[in-house]
Structure 1
């Protein structure tokens, strides 16, 4: 994958932010506010858990479209907007599970998908469809922070990106690791790349044995030593499922076999990832732990945004550690490699089963180690389960196949855990 190009037009880039009240969305709006000559927000979408914040964001940015996935949040959103705008016209409001997808297809130069979970797949596909020739946002870039949509719908996303000019042209990665890889890949040709090396902080349980992990509590799992994230992503980081998803994501984004995507533990989280070239040279992207740099680069790709985030202080003594991954205590990356190699709906099964297991763990209904154990069992059973389309190739895989596999995986994970439906949208 070579760097995506970006639409060229006079004036600030029109930006649609999906997941605006989450961590990525909030920081994206801070980047936009600091560079009004470069960016202008035209639409905001959020789940609806904080309509007051969404209303404040809409007023501050002047967004013309505002959406909530939870229709029950619409009255509160309208009330907050009316109070803040004091008689001025309200933005056009959208509500319901398809609202973010609607906004993703609007005319724009950049669509930032910062939604958490596989519900981000439909907006990803809509943004890429709009970016294709003849679409409402022809030539736009998808700044992708929602790794699940690529993992779950890999073949569908690749096909949609192809229609929009190719993955390299249509998608700018926002995950810090994949942004780092994309930056490092500027240093050489595709045929000069030997391997990609993703860094992992190791989470709060780095160095723990599997036996010690058996008694981990949700409070412990949510105490990440480096990053402030939502509960699902933070738990995924603790189990290293997040890193497994990132391995699959890198494989798809940069078109390299799974066995050429490695993981190394780097507790300081300063080196965000590395690319090793055939001559033995390795390029690394380093900056203090902050998402503002990859977010700004995703919004401005391929151009950098001055002063987007902090730089390393080379006047201060510091030590960076790099440690091998313990696959016995943390088998999630090994499982993800198997799933990514299998392809088809297997990644969708892994992701959906994991979301259900994380919900159960955070609710105190299952143990920490059972998360990956249960996911592995569901993945294994899916290979021979009817109506999962496990054997489908990329050419004949449909969105219905992916959604059906997800539904099966969620139900089976709950059966294995012995827990009721979590009520996930």
Structure 2
């Protein structure tokens, strides 16, 4: 890939004549809830046009009562009825159901900005719909680029969509690139907290429980991303995301463990300069940057006090104990269908682990076995991506049942 910023495309979104009309896909998740906190602080700057949550009927109803968006999205008709009964009689939103409904929401003509914050591969179709419609897309669903990075870039170029990265690491690098020639970049440096098991030896991780893996030291996140952080798979997926987002080969992306999570990532230029982004570890900051881009917002957050920092530390990731990071690099190197397999197998593995049907160390083993069974295939559209994704999920489940047993109590 060639270093370029054009695939982020239309980096000067046209200013709104009034409040920026926003769709939040995944409003009941951790990113969606943080986004609504930001929006609540600036009611005159934004209008919440639509909210979509999957199955959390109580929270979605609470959000709907507060914001009264004209459109609500839910997973199925059962959830729709649950939410409907929790809404006041005088509020009658338009309902959009399931993935087709999410895609329709993402492409609504009135919407200016779509926050894509759904978890996992399910977030890809709505992201593609928003990009095809030429929206400002605040992308918090890294799987969209892991599964379809090339396709997303091509569609951005064709439609003029403005793709903005919400992930704190990619948002930090995006900000560090501002005003600079991308050809002057030597490498991109992704920082990682190291998760709850930083410094542990592999032998110490044999009896890890879901509760232990969910206890992230710095960030408050959903279950899936918290497990991925503990295995360093999240960082592996972020490497793939960065490769597509910034148009660089994987050998120009470095991962550095930074346990304080104060520097959210850096860009190194060819003169040796390192430009980074510092801030408190709160997702409201990158979310606000994307929601208001190219402007900035006041946020009700305690600012970072540099005088109270005892120090900033950096170390290399332990890839022998946490092999998922290396698996991600290998997956991208082996061809575009391999990251799809990696992501699908990982979603299955994490689900099995959370249900205590797979041991913690077997997560990486299951991914490796599934990747080894994959034959490269062309992935040029959503249908071909789904075919690889479906194969990988079935294969991972089969391998889990065949080769791995539930962890002992």
TM-score by length of 2: 0.93
CA contact (8 A) 2:99 2:126 kept: no
Give the CA deviation at 1:58. Answer: 1.5
- Structure 1 runs of 4+ aligned residues shifted over 3 Å read none
Q: Which residue of 1 aligns with 2:290?
A: 298
Structure 1 pair 348–296 and aligned structure 2 pair: CA distance change class (3 A)? same
Query: How far is the alpha carbon of 1:70 from its aligned partner?
Result: 3.0
Counterpart CA distance in 2 for 1:332 and 1:309 is 34
Instruction: Say which of 47, 54, 72 aligns to 1:40.
Output: 47
Q: How does 1:196-345 map to 2 (within 5 A)?
A: 196-307=188-299, 309-345=301-337
Q: Contact 1:344–1:397 (CA<8 Å) still a contact in 2?
A: no
Distance (Å, rounded) in 1 between the aligned partners of 2:322 and 2:106: 36
TM superposition shift of 1:322: 0.5
Deviations 1:293-348 (A, max 9, x none): 10001111121112364421123242111111111111111111111122321111
Give 2:36's aligned residue.
29
C-alpha RMSD of matched pairs (Å): 1.5
**8 Å contact from structure 1 (residues 267, 321) kept in 2:** yes
TM-score normalised over the length of structure 1 = 0.90
Q: Is the 8 A contact 1:177 1:273 kept in 2?
A: yes
Partner residue of 2:372 out of 370, 380, 398: 380
Match of 1:199, SS state, is strand
Q: What is the CA-CA distance between 1:227 and the residue it aligns to?
A: 1.0
- Cα distance, 1:62 vs. partner? 2.3
| CA–CA distance in structure 2, aligned partners of residues 207 and 57 of structure 1 | 40
The partner residue of 1:151 within 127, 146, 150 is: 146
Q: What are structure 2's unaligned runs of at least 5 residues?
A: 403-409
- 1:410 Cα deviation from its structure 2 partner: 0.6
> Is the Cα–Cα contact under 8 Å of residues 70 and 97 in structure 1 kept in the other structure?
no
Change (3 A) 1:325 1:187: farther
Which residue of 2 is the match for residue 56 of structure 1?
62
**1:32-78 Cα distance to aligned partner (Å, 9 max, x none):** 11011211100111102x21221221221120000101332111111
Cα gap change, 1:64/1:226 in structure 2, threshold over 3 Å: closer, same or farther? same
Structure 2 distance, partners of 1:56, 1:298, is 25
Give the one of 85, 103, 106 matched to 2:105: 103
Match of 1:179 among 156, 171, 177: 171
User: How many residue pairs were aligned?
Assistant: 394
Moved more, 94-103 or 15-24: 94-103
Matches within 5 A, 1:134-145: 140-145=135-140
Residue 369 of structure 1 corresponds to 361
